[in-house]
A and B are shown apart, each in its own frame.
Chain A
Amino acid sequence: MPLVNYAARELTCKVVYYGPGRSGKTTNLQYIFDRVPAVRRGEMISLATQGDRTLFFDFLPLDLGTIAGFSVRLQLYTVPGQTYYRATRRLVLQGADGVVFVADSQSRRMDDNLESLRDLQENLLEHGMEPRTMPTVLQYNKQDLPTELIHAMPAMDDALNFRSAPSFGADALRGVGVFESLKAVSGLLLRRLAAEVPSA
């Protein structure tokens, strides 16, 4: 659940970037980090191996300032994609308000995408979160690669997007689709929040 502190007028939401290893989750966060004015962000914490693979998780706190009278903060996390870090992924996913599933568009990585998606679903269920209602967007990264190496957007949708979530083609290195994905997941989770906050 988003953390809403009415007394302090603070709203804190946790967004987790999920997906198979090397799909570009950390690249997403790095791109956002580079684009956000320093006063708006905290330090990006990255626990990485020597090969720059995410070891535990990346964490990027964003201060969006005061919106609608609330001081809004987004906390962006990535999970390590490698299969053997399942326990870490489950831990990071705990308390998530929204998920950006970063899929690798390369044809040869489709099985990894599917396995990661299944893993996401299982971990959500283990936390008692309903995958159907969890605000989720799909980002098909590496769409800039030669077309013979990747699946196009419709094929990616056919394979992965069986819940008709918002989906975006991306080239996270150059920032294509990065903010679009973040905006979409933020919009979804805020809409969900609004539906859950009792109104007159």
Chain B
Amino acid sequence: MSVGLNPRFRFDSLVVGATNRLAVTAARAVAEQPGVIYNPLLIYAPPGLGKTHLLTAIGHLALAKRPGSVVEYLTMDDFNEDYHAAVAAGRGDAWRQRFLATEVLLLDDVQFLAGRREMQAELLRLIDALQRENRQIVLASDRPPAEIEQLDERLMRRFGGGLIADIVSPDFETRVAILRRTAEERQTAFLAGVLEAVARTPIESVRELLGVLNRLVAEQAVTERPLTPERVRALLGIDAAAAATAAVEVVAEVTETVVAAAEESSTARDEFGTFLAELQATLEAQVENWRLGAERAVADFGARGFATRRLEQLLGDTPPAEPDVVIRQYEADVERLEAIAEEIAALAPELVESQTLRDPDALAAAELLLDDAKYRTLPLPGPVDAFSLETLTETPGNRMAVHGARTAASEPGVRYNPLVLVGPPGSGKTHLMHGIGVALQAAGMSRVACLGAGEFSDMLIAAIERNAVPSFRARFRRVNALCLDDVQLIAGRERTQEELFLLFNALSERGTQMVFTSSRRPAELVGLAPRLVSRLEGGLVATLEAPPRRERRMSGAVQGPAFRNAERVIWEWPDVLDRVIEEWR
């Protein structure tokens, strides 16, 4: 379906010359593959140089290639009036839908957008909508966009994103060719040199040039005598100076053989020019397949949520050296991103929404994110299973602590949270802490972390070095129970205390059981932040007394099971020997 297409304006009735070749080639390309190559295409030229012809020719060719498609041609004035009529009738949406249904929209005289903010905004929306749907939009203006007054910068950018082609006044040969073709269409023969004389007039507009030709056709019909070049010059009022300037050419004109040679030369140039224009169209359509591929890739990957900057740059003004390599690399990067995203989804679902995983230009960052996800899921040090609550000897000095430990193990996070075990070295607090961890694991709890407060601090320092504190936090916040030995070791370490404070709050909110050991009550520790002190003191603080020397041999860590699995104990609890020595002393 076509709206408003003048049947006379087609590509085969257009004379192609050096001054309009780019515009014609681009126009052919968009007519053959609407919405694919140059979108939008903007053609600008002074009045009378064939903009409307070209726009209409695009419409005809697009329809010939795809019969049944919707092609609409209208001037900016029509566009404007239709819009206001639609708005007045309360049918603004219908107006928009009408244009969204077109496959090729041809808008003439867009210079009349000057100062019309409302229409500019509508056109902007329309261009965006049409581009999204791969519909072609072609615009014509009598001046370059930069010279259209008060043109919205966003519109300028949209125009620049497609192709802007200009047409300037045709050269002498092209003017002769246009005049000859038109004379043939009018079935009028002129003497040699007549059309050349017309072509030499200082008229720039082809439309006006054809007006002159019409006058000559009429003149010749009325006088019934062939017009001579001299008569034509007299009729057109070409002044003496101009005539003098053209004197050399006049000599050529009167020499029949020279005129014939000039005609042949002109025809010859036309023949090669046509060949070149058609070949250009073929090459544009064929060799630039990568461009179509890139545009398709932009649409496809864009729709899947991937950033397409790299491909958009590919489609910029300067074609890259090896576009297919760039496209293949982009696809490979997207494939890798998808694999990374899948792996991360399994490891750390909270990271999967990261925009990094949608940006092939940030593949290196995505790899780091995967490392981060892996780090987050690395198991934290667990309890040493040699220390169980069952192997602990209950004494009057540790009764309350043992009770607290057993309760924490049987009802984690419910009654004594946090449980803070306080005692001097050798009192068995570490044994108790690990015992709780072992009991929780035995009850089926996963991710039970048991580690020294010094180790916690060292891990934080390593994370700061790697700029990976969020991963450090995420790793600890995944635990289902946290047992931290020797809290007194972080006294004076402000950053560690801050992280512990944040972790405490997060785990507390989730009801995660926490067990701490300390050589002194938290309130007595110098260098421990009051906010941490209050939280530790807010749970159950159970003290353990050092057992008499004779009982030590039979108690806790030095009992048989620890040594039956000595290698593992040393591996998982590197300071066990120090503790044993301390126990023995």
Contact = CB atoms under 8 A, between A and B. Distances in A.
B549 to A, nearest CB: 81
Contact of A191 (B268, B269, B275, B282): B282
B269 A37 contact: yes
B287 A197 contact: yes
A200 B271 contact: no
A64 B322 CA distance: 21
A199 interface: yes
Interface in B89-146: none
A65 B321 CA distance: 18
Contact of B276 (A64, A193, A199, A200): A64
Which bucket holds chain B's interface residue count? Answer: 20 to 34
Given A64-B279, A200-B297, A200-B331, A193 B287 contact: yes
Nearest to B274: A179
Interface in A1-60: 6-7, 9, 11, 34-37, 40
A190 B286 contact: yes
B319 interface: yes
Given A191-B282, A197-B290, A179 B324 contact: no
A11 B280 CA distance: 13
A187 B282 contact: yes
Interface in A167-200: 175, 179, 182-183, 186-187, 190-191, 193-194, 197-200
A197 B291 CA distance: 12
Contacts of A199: 289-290, 292-293, 324, 327
B269 A67 contact: no
Interface in B272-318: 272, 274-276, 278-280, 282-284, 286-290, 292-294, 296-297, 318
A179 B279 CA distance: 11
Contact of B286 (A6, A7, A40, A191): A191
B415 interface: no
Contact of A67 (B280, B293, B296, B321): B280
B293 A200 contact: yes
Nearest to A8: B321
B328 interface: yes
Contacts of A9: 319, 321
A190 B271 contact: no
> What DSSP secondary structure best describes chain B's contact surface?
helix
Which bucket holds chain A's interface residue count? Answer: 20 to 34
Interface of A: 6-7, 9, 11, 34-37, 40, 64-65, 67-70, 72, 175, 179, 182-183, 186-187, 190-191, 193-194, 197-200
A121 B88 CA distance: 72
Given A64-B279, A183-B278, A199-B293, 5 more contacts: A35-B271, A68-B284, A190-B287, A197-B289, A199-B292
Interface in B377-421: none
Interface of B: 268-269, 271-272, 274-276, 278-280, 282-284, 286-290, 292-294, 296-297, 318-319, 321-322, 324, 327-328, 331
Contacts of A187: 279, 282
A97 B290 CA distance: 21
Given A6-B321, A197-B324, A200-B296, A68 B287 contact: yes
A35 B269 contact: yes
A189 B282 CA distance: 10
B269 A194 contact: no
Nearest to A34: B268
B271 A179 contact: yes
Contacts of B288: 68
B585 to A, nearest CB: 75
A67 B272 contact: no
Contacts of A200: 290, 293-294, 296-297, 324, 327-328, 331
A183 to B, nearest CB: 5
A190 B282 contact: yes
Contacts of A6: 321-322
Nearest to A4: B287
B275 A179 contact: yes
Contact of A40 (B272, B294, B328): B272
Most buried by B among A7, A34, A186, A199: A199
B271 A67 contact: no
Contact of A70 (B274, B287, B324, B331): B287
